[in-house]
Every structure is written in C-alpha cells, then in structure tokens.
Amino acid sequence: MYGWIWRHLPGNAWVRSIIALALILAVVYALFQYVFPWAEPLLPFGDVTVDGASAGGAGAGQ
Amino acid sequence: MSVRLVVRTFSELCITVGALIVLFVVYFLFWTGVKAADAAEGEIDTLQSRWAREPVAPAPPPPSASTEPSAPAPYRDGKPFATMHIPRFGSGWEWPVLENTEVRTLQKGLGHYSGTARPGDTGNFAVAGHRRTYGDPFKDFPKLRPGDAVVVNDGTTWFTYRIAKRPYRTVPTDTAVVDPVPRGSGFESDGRYLTLTTCEPEWGSSHRLIAWAHLDATRPVSEGKPPELAD
C-alpha cells in the first residue's frame, strides 16, 4: 500500500518525501476537522444529561 | 511472492489502524479541550459585549416577584445567557451557560436544560456539563461539598447558590433529579434550586452524578462581584 503510493509519486526521493509529508498532514487535518468530530458522539463519553433516552445518544435534553 | 504481499499489506493495515487510534486519543484528550476553551472564551466574549450594550436593570426583581406577568424573552437555543463560577473548581473557573443540552451545545460550555427554571427563579435551574473532554469543566465534580458556592451571572444579577449535599449518583433515566423540587435532594417544598449533572464514572456513561444547591444570595452586578469570587 505505502510502497505503491511511494512508487507513484513523481520526482526524486526528496520531492517524494515532501509530497508524502504534505499528504500525511492533509490526512491528519481531514481526520481532526471532519472524521473525529463525526465519530466522537458515537462514543459514550459525552453523556452528561439525564434524559430518559437510551444510552446511545448523548444528551438530547429533556 | 503473493504471501509476501498479503503479509505486507496486513502489517501496513495494522500500523495504519494503530496510528488512527493514537491520533483519535490525541484528538479526544487534547484537541477537544483546545476547541472547548476557544469556544467558551468566544461565548463569554459574546455575552460580555451583549451585556455592555444593554442597560443594566436598575435592580433585580425582588424574590417575591419572580413570576411577574411580563415574562422575559426566552433564551435562544444554543446561545449563551449566563456565566457560571464555582470557586471549589479553581478561582479562574468560569464557563458560559448555553441554552439546551445538545451535543454541540455542550461542546462550547455548560448546557441549561430547556424547560427548567431560569437562574434565580422559583423552580430548578438545571445545568449539564462534561466531566471529561471538551475542557473537562466538571472534572472535580466529586469534590463539591455542602456549602460550596455556585455563582451565576446573567448580566444583571449575581446569583449565589449553596451546594446542599455531596454529589448524588443516579442512573441516566432518573429525570426527576431536575424536577422543580428534585427527587433525592432532600428539598421538600418549592424553592429556588440549582441542579448540576455530569457523567459517572469519570470516563463512562452508565450513571450520572448530580449536585443540588439552593439560592443563598443575589447581588446586582452594579455592586460588583460577590464575596465568594473575591481572590
């Protein structure tokens, strides 16, 4: 997988390293900005309210 | 040859999943706190600039007139309307209180249970907050003791509530703890109460931790901070 990506990046080793670093940063940014905020409410840590609902959703209020 | 490919791909997948988990933990334990501190500061700034524009009411409504006929405007969903200070959690502990208890609201501060009383009113002013992540506002919740002050500022009045008893552990469906006369609190008749709720255990969601307080004193903001907040 990673070998395949590396072989398909253009340029010499330096250019490839820089592109790879940029790709990693882009992936981390996407995770922090979009994926994790979406996934986080699915975990139970946000349940701080008493709401009579099942434990699945985090505090939908009264 | 192909075995080699399978093994290599499998190990790469394992590394990827491991890295994802580490990143998620960093996000969860660290980044949510950064986001929440930023959001809470923004909400408090919003409140303070709103309060700076509005004239301060000359005097808070006297306690007997809390159910006055001219009902105040309802709080706007997801918007801040007060700040809360709990000296037990640290002298700099200040969080905005926002209307409703939805996930997105609680990521920016404390959430007021819609439909419960307003600060200082007869009934139960109920507020939920995160114990862990999103700035850990209620991290020290179990340290609350009877007599501790919970101070709420709604822009015109400082309301000082006093914790009535040690935090009470209950199940998530026990909605009677935010009733006007909360069940389990030891309060028996109508009064001006405050309820705080958070999760229990610290990192779990099987139970809730509840703290009750009753109104002890009010003070117009024009007279400055209440003595509980003097440092």
Per-residue tens of pLDDT for chain B, all 231 residues: 689 999 999 999 999 999 999 999 999 999 999 999 999 999 999 999 999 887 665 555 555 544 445 667 789 899 999 999 999 999 889 999 999 998 889 999 999 999 899 999 999 999 999 998 899 999 999 999 999 999 999 999 999 999 999 999 999 999 999 999 998 888 999 999 999 999 988 888 889 999 999 999 999 998 889 988 876
Residue with tokens 């500061």: B41
Give the residue numbers spanning the domain of B175.
Answer: 11-229
**Cβ contacts of B129 within 8 Å, gap of 6 or more:** A48, B95, B106, B109, B110, B111, B137, B138, B196, B197, B198
Rounded Cα gap, residues A3 and A7, in angstroms: 6
Chain B positions touching A3 (Cβ under 8 A) are 8
User: Does some domain include residue B6?
Assistant: no
Chain A positions touching B103 (Cβ under 8 A) are 41, 46, 58-59
Chain A positions touching B129 (Cβ under 8 A) are 48
pLDDT at A62: 31
Is the separation of the CB atoms in B208 and B200 below 8 Å? yes
pLDDT at B71: 66
Contact A62/B133, CB-based, under 8 Å?
Answer: no
User: Does some domain include residue B1?
Assistant: no
Give the number of A-B residue pairs with CB atoms closer than 8 Å: 105
User: Does some domain include residue B2?
Assistant: no
pLDDT at B204: 83
pLDDT at B70: 60
User: Does some domain include residue B212?
Assistant: yes
Closest Cβ–Cβ partner in B23, B114, B197 for A31: B23
Contact B175/A47, CB-based, under 8 Å?
Answer: no
Is the separation of the CB atoms in A51 and A62 below 8 Å? yes
pLDDT at B62: 54
Chain A touched by B28 (CB under 8 Å): yes
Closest chain A C-alpha to B200 CA, distance in angstroms: 8
Closest chain B C-alpha to A56 CA, distance in angstroms: 10
Q: Minimal Cα distance from A4: which residue of B?
A: B9
Per-residue pLDDT tens digits for A7-62: 989 889 999 999 999 999 999 999 999 999 988 888 776 677 887 543 333 333 33
Catalytic status, residue B199: yes
pLDDT at A60: 32
pLDDT at B57: 58
Buried b (16+ CB within 10 A) or exposed e, B105-140: bbbbbbbbbbebbbbbbbbbbbbbbbbbbbbbbbbe
User: Does some domain include residue B58?
Assistant: yes
pLDDT at B14: 96
CATH number of the structural domain spanning residue B30: 2.40.260.10
Give the three-state DSSP class for B54. Answer: coil
- What interface predicted TM-score (ipTM) does this complex get? 0.78
pLDDT at A39: 87
Contact A47/B199, CB-based, under 8 Å?
Answer: yes
Residue with tokens 């935010």: B178
Determine which one of B85, B112, B130, B192 is catalytic: B130
Cis peptide upstream of residue B201 (ω within 30 degrees of 0): yes
User: Does some domain include residue B5?
Assistant: no
CA end-to-end span of chain B: 72
User: Does some domain include residue B59?
Assistant: yes
Q: How many domains does chain B have?
A: 1
User: Does some domain include residue B79?
Assistant: yes
pLDDT at A42: 82
Chain B positions touching A55 (Cβ under 8 A) are 172, 205-206
